[in-house]
Amino acid sequence: MEKRPNPVPDSMPLDMLDRLFECAYAVDADRRIVYWNKAAEALTGYPAGTVLGTKCSDNILVHVDKDGRPLCTNNCPLSDSMQSLCRNEATVYLQHAHGHRVLVNIRTVPTVEGDGSVWGLELFEEAGEVADMRSRMADLERLALLDALTGAGNRRLADLAMHSRHSALLRLGSGYSVAMIDLDNLKLMNDEFGHDAGDLALKSSARSMLNTLRASDILSRWGGDEFLLVLEGADLDEAMKAMERMRALVESSSVEVGEGIRIGLTVSAGVTQARPSETADEVVTRADRLLYDAKRAGRNRIAAG
């Protein structure tokens, strides 16, 4: 077991925690991480040696809620648990070592020692809906419908999704909405830091966006730095809310493009609801036009129509 910066309380059963399928970490009274199990390493990409002795807010995990609001300095579930001496449960997004966001269910447990000091234990695992989506995406990969770089669907899947949803709209009246999404300033990133940095930004943004999807939603790489999101059964208001969550989550993320250099990521989007009086191509064209309205208005925003 790796050396820890501070003794871990005897009340914490480390042998048991080491064998858990769930991810686990413990913090001392100053909220410094003193224990980090193998499952946590596997899910987050952070080796224990890089996190022990740090705080969660030191660019490790940096939890945010579903709207992209940071939790480490306010409304932290583990901190609240340590202060109230009550167990806590929440669903939050953590930051992976590669920069993207991962949806997890967490449970926090306070531990009071004999000297009155309070330690905290957090157990977490990938949320079931995301895990189900990963299984579905694995099936799609076997059908060669995934984009190799980003892990989102490819153009073929986008075309299939649009055809399927529009056909259902015309035959059954089943509505759907579409968002055309663009990663902001990718060309500038490529020019300044190289195409490897641009690819990393594309992968990180796509992974964060994929982790916001419902099981029925399909996100595909349309081409270059553009993605097409098809939201089954969503009206324009529901699609806007879903796209805003996605935009905020990407905005809360960053990628390391050089030694000590991290850059933030943002996306712009055009969102529209499909109409029975038009073709699938016309729906996509309108979403694309709205996307450029959003970019002309300053980027990192959504235009709807």
Whole-angstrom distance, CA of residue 70 vs CA of residue 291: 27
Which position has the token pair 């967490």?
Answer: 106
Closest of 305, 287, 294 to residue 165, by C-alpha: 287
Which of these is catalytic: 139, 225, 237, 281? 225
Whole-angstrom distance, CA of residue 131 vs CA of residue 112: 34
Burial classification of residue 114, based on how many CB atoms lie within 10 Å of its CB (0-12 exposed, 13-18 middle, 19 or more buried): exposed
Task: Read off the tokens for 141.
Answer: 């990969």
Is the Cα dihedral 280, 281, 282, 284 positive or negative?
positive
DSSP 3-state assignment of 104?
strand
- Segment holding 208, helix H or strand E: helix 195-210
Q: Is 139 a catalytic residue?
A: no
Q: Are 86 and 196 in contact (CB under 8 A)?
A: no
Burial classification of residue 232, based on how many CB atoms lie within 10 Å of its CB (0-12 exposed, 13-18 middle, 19 or more buried): middle
Q: Are 236 and 177 in contact (CB under 8 A)?
A: yes
Task: Read off the tokens for 213.
Answer: 């999807």
Residue 254's contacts (CB-CB under 8 Å, 6 or more residues apart) are 99, 262, 263, 264, 265
Q: Distance from first CA to last CA of the chain, Å, rounded? A: 56
Which residues are known catalytic residues? Answer: 225
